[in-house]
Amino acid sequence: MVTFDEAPADRFTRLHKAFVFHLGVAAGLAWMTALYAAMYAPWVRNIRPLIDPTQVGRVESTGAFLFGFPSILLVAWVMVFAGRDMLRHFRLMKDQTIEFALAGAVAFAIFYMAIDRAVTAILLEEEVRIVDNLLGCRCNSSLCAPIFVGQPANLREINLHPGQQGQELPARG
């Protein structure tokens, strides 16, 4: 027999289990995507100008850019998993369903930003590779010509490496 006081506890347990499971899946997917992007992204001290050359604001390394939001999701997942009893007694609203829905929306927004950053880094690597091919770069590094990403493709004379100064680019056809 369930009394009036036990019914909310059972409801909280059900909502908490569902939230912990889905937050764990989101954190795992965010980490897997960030690790995949880390294998292909150019590792630079400041990745922001590579993404948007007009932005000269905050400095953010590739590691911080890729792993910041997945780390937040992982810490949140551990806190929610370990702090079940504390969360049971701590209420912001009268209805627990609304609280969990709001927490889910915030977690989804962080998950979306983590995936968006990983995809941006993967696409940036592809853009760097295209620029390397356009410039005829002979090095086998994705960091060969990152300064040219976002620049117009009609540059005629560029100093590529110390041994290749003044080499002209082939004409675009």
pTM of full prediction above 0.75: no
If pLDDT is split at 50, 70 and 90, which confidence band does 166 have? very low
Q: How far are the Cα atoms of 58, 63, 142 from residue 146, in angstroms, in the given order?
A: 18, 17, 8
Q: How far are the Cα atoms of 10, 33, 48, 68, 73 from residue 122, in angstroms, in the given order?
A: 44, 10, 14, 16, 21
**168 beta partners:** 157
3-state secondary structure 61-97: CHHHHHHHHHHHHHHHHHHHHHCHHHHHHCCCCCCHH
If pLDDT is split at 50, 70 and 90, which confidence band does 129 have? confident
Give the pLDDT confidence of 75-118 residue by residue, as tens digits: 999 999 999 888 888 888 888 899 999 999 999 999 999 999 99
If pLDDT is split at 50, 70 and 90, which confidence band does 8 have? low
Give the pLDDT confidence of 110-124 residue by residue, as tens digits: 999 999 999 999 988
> C-alpha angle 111/112/117, rounded to 5°?
100
The closest of 163, 128, 166, 122 to 147, measured between CA atoms, is 128
Domain range summary for the chain, segments of one domain joined by +: 6-164
Give the pLDDT confidence of 40-76 residue by residue, as tens digits: 888 888 888 888 878 777 788 899 999 999 999 999 9
